Structure 1
């Protein structure tokens, strides 16, 4: 059938200009090349190819009428083709595939699932703020309300904005809020953002105003003494109780753009790592500091408590780090002499206890989990490390929230004993700068209970 259509099509294209040739080609396109319903197994590719060949041949033809006909074919679709095709190609429902199952098309039958851009406003980064107010500015008059929302809530689609309207979450002062409503300059549009479904049970009211100790702050940078257990940015099950969302709650001003400050992270720290964290208040400061991290000109010092008693007073670990070959922990690292990246860690002993040593670490490179991997490689893993410590399965059980009392005794600490002690870099205005954070109270309480060496 497809071959016959090809022969007929070739004959029609080869003829001179005329209504008969155009009509025949249109019939071939409608009835043969793009039929209603699902094509048979061997014909689908041939029909699509013939469609493309026919339309390209018409467009390349010398006759202007033919070129116009080809362009029309490119834009045209046979009437009624899409609904019929959708009905013919629809997959069997779950009732047909598995008796007694719930319908696929029923929204209520499926469990609630967070949709991208709707369960968490990633551009807003403000989990506590549940309502926004926007004033219609010059140039935005005569916009439809759904268009205005799609423009102002740029991280959401227009369909998502319509859903807010359908759910009654959008208000317009003095007038009803419907999608087709044309706006006027000076009108106030209020939007209520629903609480995310992913971590609503994790957000506690007393923690909404999380305190982040400041080590330094000016018009360009903020130096944070990050507590352990607080993520630096939204990820996984923790979306709102993070450093960056707390800073957005403190510095964003949506009502006055001249006072609106958008904090941005200059670098990151692991969830369980405490210490110095630098945040930029403007784009110039962000680029200035990030370039220094990229060029490895930032001095990075850590304090870490490890298992065992090191014999030497100082040393250098120079072992390449790459992805681990075995193990169930995603993004875990290992010493890889084949594909690993060059990694160097300089250390010196600060304090000693029976069975434990506190080290001062200087990172000469910045690989993922570098300190933890290197300390484990030399036989002195970080205390409380769930991935590279005494039992690699501890992290899996911790993630599944199935740690036993025996696991907690093996860990000794609820978090890894790793602390970002100091950062040295150039401030965008003041020049050389050093930020320091002392050994944190929770680790001090642990080391105070250790037996000192005689």
Structure 2
């Protein structure tokens, strides 16, 4: 199944026993589980060259291959979706994106995206309908929550995009990670590119990698099993934080692509079940700072962790004594 939209994923030992539709949805972040099931049912997905049902349980060493159908022409219809707005004026809007929301339309996500919500809330975006992603300056993965800025006019879109390109935008994240780093802070400098085996993943072992740098600071830890890290993106590669933390042995809790399923089971102090219950990758865009595209004023916004992440931190606190007690930023 070579060609446009083709994919090929080896089934690693940690994915053994995983349902085919769940496995595919995790490996194709832009594809919903329901759309993955449709692809499988239509025969576009093969396991070791044979079609299978969505509920088929995978075995280690198998190969899942297939292809995505050609994208349909984008149709952006305004939808009345509630947004958690941190700031808004005539030029831009800053929101707290909830986990589970896709930023822009993609295969399997023809509605319910941030773009659809913005078109309903911000009529001026109508003028940017010619764009593939009207108003979108940067994005967060579907299951990453946090602060995100969107432009309301072409001039603001261009100026904000220039700031992201020049790296003058400051992006700080919070992540729950497996294990506890040996130091209190540090910087990960490992180049990132496409994984040499799984082309849908990113890797520090890529033959065509680009420089990537992530600063981090330890905020809290729990019985050696997990830690709350504050991270600063110095570069902005795809999946950068998730790839860097996995590379240094502290993958993001709940990460279905770069995490290790056995890491939660091996957690000390009875915390394994708590960590394994994470509903998604525990990564949150906490603080976003940039220059206003019209006035030049430096703006900074903080988006508190959403209930699922705050709740997991509370359960970790209840199960052990956190250290150090720096608290979770509000």
User: What is the TM-score of this pair, normalised by structure 2?
Assistant: 0.66
* Deviation, structure 1 residue 350: 1.0
Which has the larger Rg? Answer: 1
* Deviation, structure 1 residue 211: 1.2
Deviations 1:167-224 (A, max 9, x none): xxxxxxxxxxxxxxxxxxxxxxxxxxxxxxxxxxxxxxxxxx3211001000101001
- Sort the Cα spacing of 1:127 and 1:211 in 2 relative to 1 into closer, same or farther, 3 A: closer
Output the CA distance in 1 between the equivalents of 2:124 and 2:142: 28
Structure 1 counterpart SS, 2:172: strand
Output the CA distance in 1 between the equivalents of 2:312 and 2:71: 43
1:442 aligns with 2:308: yes
- Sort the Cα spacing of 1:221 and 1:127 in 2 relative to 1 into closer, same or farther, 3 A: closer
Is this contact kept in 1: 2:78–2:119, CA < 8 A? no
Task: Give runs of aligned pairs for residues 293-442 of structure 1, distance below 5 A.
Answer: 293-327=164-198, 330-336=199-205, 338-354=207-223, 355-391=225-261, 411-430=276-295, 431-442=297-308
Output the CA distance in 2 between the equivalents of 1:332 and 1:391: 17
1:229 aligns with 2:100: yes
Query: Among residues 59, 64, 77, which one is paired with 1:126 in the alignment?
Result: 77
Output the CA distance in 1 between the equivalents of 2:196 and 2:201: 9
Is this contact kept in 1: 2:102–2:142, CA < 8 A? yes
* Deviation, structure 1 residue 339: 2.5
Consecutive unaligned residues of structure 2, counting only runs of 5 or more, are: 1-68, 263-272, 324-330
Please list every run of at least 4 consecutive aligned residues from structure 1 whose deviation after the TM superposition is greater than 6 angstroms. none
Output the CA distance in 2 between the equivalents of 1:221 and 1:295: 19
Structure 2 counterpart SS, 1:352: strand
The structure richer in strand per residue is 2
Consecutive unaligned residues of structure 1, counting only runs of 5 or more, are: 1-112, 129-208, 393-407
- Sort the Cα spacing of 1:318 and 1:126 in 2 relative to 1 into closer, same or farther, 3 A: same
Q: 2:46 matched to which residue of 1?
A: none
Output the CA distance in 2 between the equivalents of 1:341 and 1:211: 37
Q: 1:11 matched to which residue of 2?
A: none
- Sort the Cα spacing of 1:313 and 1:276 in 2 relative to 1 into closer, same or farther, 3 A: same
By relative contact order (CA 8 Å, sep 6+), the higher-ranking structure is 2
User: What is the TM-score of this pair, normalised by structure 1?
Assistant: 0.49
- Sort the Cα spacing of 1:217 and 1:453 in 2 relative to 1 into closer, same or farther, 3 A: closer
* Deviation, structure 1 residue 115: 8.2
- Sort the Cα spacing of 1:444 and 1:116 in 2 relative to 1 into closer, same or farther, 3 A: closer
Is this contact kept in 2: 1:351–1:357, CA < 8 A? yes
* Deviation, structure 1 residue 253: 7.8
* Deviation, structure 1 residue 272: 0.4
Task: Give runs of aligned pairs for residues 39-50 of structure 1, distance below 5 A.
Answer: none
Q: 1:287 matched to which residue of 2?
A: 158
Q: 2:114 matched to which residue of 1?
A: 243
